[in-house]
Amino acid sequence: MNQAADKIIIVDDEKGMCDSLFKLLTDDGYLVEAFQEAPRAVEAIRGGKVDLVITDIKMPQLNGMDLMKLVKEVDEEIPVILMTGYASLDSAVEAVSRGAYDYLMKPIEFANLVMAVKRALERRRAALDRRQLLEQLKIATLLQERRINELNALYEAGKSIGSTANVKELLRQIVVLASSVTEAKVGSIMLLDEKDECLTIEAAIGLEPEVVEKTCLPVGTSIAGFVAQTAQPIIVEDVERDPRFQRINRERYGAASLLCAPLTIKNRVIGVINMANKESGRPFTENDLKLLTTFASQAAVAVDDANQFEKNRRRLIEFEVLHEVAGELPQIKSLNAFRGILIDKIKRVFPVGYSLWFNWDSTGHTLTLEGASGTDDIPLTDSGGIDLGKIARESISLSPISLDELDLHNIVEMSDLIRGKLADNEHFPTPKRAFMAIPILKYSELAHVFCLGSDSDRSYSPDDISLARLVISQAALLFEKEKSLLNATRLLTMGNMISEISHDLRKPLTSIKGGLQIIKQRWSETAGADLVKMVEDEIYRMNELVGELVDFSNPNKYQTEKIDLRQLVQRAAELVGPDMYKRKVQFDTEYGQANWEIIVNKNQIIETLLNLFINALDAMPDGGRLSVLGTIEKPEHKKINYLALKVSDTGVGIKEENLSRIFDRYYTSKETGTGLGLAVVERIVSAHSGTLRVESVEGVGTIFTLYFPLTV
């Protein structure tokens, strides 16, 4: 028992009695106030919490019976103990009948008083607990009834989604149910248009038909536009006074409380649901907003289901297009035919008036027109009537184009970039809003750009762009595979033919070389010796060419395997190890953290490294350092990482004017060189889908960097 919380009022016109009772009850831990004047006691009782009143019956100004009546008016369950020095049966009966808890005679037995106080306060606490429980039960009952109504409304809304085919009718039912549980007089569901720029009313109650028909709210303006933009539900206590939306919604809602919640599907806002003018006139609550948000989810599902049905129908057409493209690609013999098939198929889904096919030159940062097509309705001509098909390709090359900051997967960004470049070109009319530029990648790098457009101010939808991207990218991939298979077949046939020709060529070359040796012995010191030497050198070159042809036609020459590139560097270094020792050349390697296992032809890579190592040794006749650094980096004009081997020497270097020619076949600066070593290096690296870079400073040294694609 927490006695300190129990407050007792003592009323007696005798000061001694007040003081005695005050001390007695205070010592017992009660909060006590004592009054000799009854009117002052009444003020205290009316002014604060009181748990028990102990009063004398006979007092001037106000007797105990009347005081008890006033106490009961304040709180009927406050117990009152009456004291009297003039006890009688009549006064005792009257006291009990008026609601007194106890009737004590003076002089007071304090033990009896303490017991009476204790019991009275226990009764008071029980009464308060009972009252609190009743209040809680009443509130719980109201909440339960409201919750049942809410659940019924949600159940009906969910049932409607599965049974109502008409989306407009379904949205109307949701508005009606939402308004009933939120007690709103006005409600509406608004959806964004196809461009996500404007909200229109699709279902409403409490609004004039003219308002429903004419309302078109730009995103970002008004309450609904604000919610559509931020995707956050909102409560407005008074539209007229809210500084964010003052007066802008007065025509529809007046000065009233309002709720607005977004209709969201997959984190994308497709519309809003509004409720206004609560029937009670009070502002809406957070629970109302929570409930409306649930209805917004139901409405969003309904709209999404309807849209999904249309998308499924469209997707069937898309699958048909993809199937047909895959079936027709094997019969395609040219790039023009390939583009024609793509256009014919895509036009079945959305309008296409013209197409442009650009090739990408990463070195010059230029898109060069490779082909174009148009329709009778939209001829490919500029404002001067020039036929685009007859314009020289370089006339509509687009440059410079920087792709460093461009995401190739962002079709909208790519399309805006190309549209701007075309608009700046005098030979091409400014594309309308119906325009898209689809990048075509090869080995994860941009290779081509396929542009589609029509004479329409209505932009292509995200679904249109998605379909075009899917069809074009998949078709391009299949087309490349078909070309690769065709090329492989041709190469196999060519290899067999070259093998036979090379074999036959070796016989006459051997005979000519033998005969030339005899002539050389007889004309050793004659004027014809120089001529014989020239013929001998040419025969040597022919023999080297035949050797290359034999290698090319040998299937085993191009067999690949997954191997650690560092092992091949080590093997090549071992093969030239004796030469490095003789020439006092120090060899060292350093590799960064990477997966150095790649798919290569082992013998070809060793041949490449040997050519570079031997060249480096020749450049350091008096000794020096030959180093191999392995790292990960992006080659120039590339956007992805490659494995990089940097082979560097501290030799004589290469003259600047010769750098552009070192990979030319038969070019050499050595007296005994054939001019084939670096040409072979370039061919082998290219055959492995890699690239080369050379840096050299005359008198300082040379660095050859070999780039190989990372193995996935």
Residue corresponding to tokens 């076949």: 665
Residue 342 within any structural domain of the chain: yes
Q: At what angle do helices 110-163 and 167-182 cross, to 10 degrees?
A: 170
**What is the pLDDT at residue 106?**
84
Strand 80-84 and strand 52-56: the pairing is: parallel
**Long-range pairs, 473-479, Cβ under 8 A, ≥24:** 473/438, 473/440, 473/441, 474/322, 474/325, 474/326, 475/325, 475/326, 475/329, 475/338, 475/341, 475/342, 476/440, 476/448, 478/325, 478/326, 478/329, 479/329, 479/332, 479/338
Other C-beta atoms lying within 10 Å of the C-beta of residue 461: 12
Domain boundary among 274, 308, 342: 308
Q: Are residues 119 and 179 in the same domain?
A: no
Q: At which of 412, 443, 460 does a domain end?
A: 460
**What local confidence, expressed as pLDDT, does residue 626 receive?**
93
Tell me whether residue 417 is in a domain: yes
Taking the chain (712 residues) in runs of 10, the rounded mean pLDDT of each run is 71 89 88 89 87 89 88 88 84 84 85 88 86 81 64 57 62 82 86 80 87 83 86 82 56 66 87 87 84 80 72 72 71 70 78 83 78 55 42 62 74 86 78 85 77 80 80 67 53 59 64 69 62 68 63 58 90 88 91 88 86 88 92 83 92 79 57 55 83 88 90 60
Q: Are residues 182 and 69 in the same domain?
A: no
- What 3-state DSSP class applies to 459? coil
Structural domain contains residue 497: no
Tokens of 186: 């006005």
Q: Which domain holds residue 33?
A: 3-133
The total number of structural domains in the chain stands at 4
My answer on whether 181 and 250 are in the same domain is yes
What's the confidence (pLDDT) of residue 670? 52
The pair of structure tokens assigned to 68 is 């008890």
* Residues 563 and 700 reside in one and the same domain: yes
What CATH number does the domain containing 298 carry? 3.30.450.40
Residue 203 main-chain phi, psi, to 5 deg? -155, 145
Return the DSSP state at 219. Answer: T
Rg (CA), the chain: 49
Is 109 found in the same domain as 201?
no
Q: Is residue 154 part of a domain?
A: no
Residue 483 pairs with which residues in a beta bridge?
A: none
Where is 342: in which H helix or E strand? helix 335-346
Distance (Å, whole) CA 367 – CA 373: 17
Are 95 and 235 in the same domain? Answer: no
Res 135: pLDDT: 81
How many whole angstroms separate alpha carbon 95 and alpha carbon 101? Answer: 9
Taking alpha carbons only, the member of 555, 454, 537 closest to residue 496 is: 555
Q: Cα–Cα distance between 183 and 141 in angstroms, integer?
A: 18
Are 685 and 613 in a shared domain?
Answer: yes
* Domain at 112, CATH number: 3.40.50.2300
Give the separation between CA 619 and CA 46, rounded to whole angstroms. Answer: 112
- The closest of 553, 440, 422 to 492, measured between CA atoms, is 553
State how beta strands 435-442 and 585-591 pair. unpaired
Q: How far apart are CA 149 and CA 155, in angstroms?
A: 10
Is 611:681 a contact under the CB 8 Å cutoff? yes
* Sole residue written with tokens 């809210």: 242
In terms of domains, do 353 and 272 share one? no
Same domain for 340 and 301: no
Any idea what the CATH number is for the domain that residue 586 is in? 3.30.565.10
Residue 375: the pLDDT is: 45
Same-domain status, 179 and 83: no
Domain boundary (114, 133, 152) is at 133
The pTM (predicted TM-score) of the whole model is: 0.40
- Give a yes or no: residue 499 inside a domain: no
- Within a domain: residue 523? no
In the block, tokens 């720029």 appear at 197
> What CATH number should be reported for the domain holding residue 338?
3.30.450
Question: Does any domain span residue 430?
Answer: yes
Q: Are residues 681 and 565 in the same domain?
A: yes
The answer to whether residue 618 is domain-embedded is yes
Same domain, 36 and 90: yes
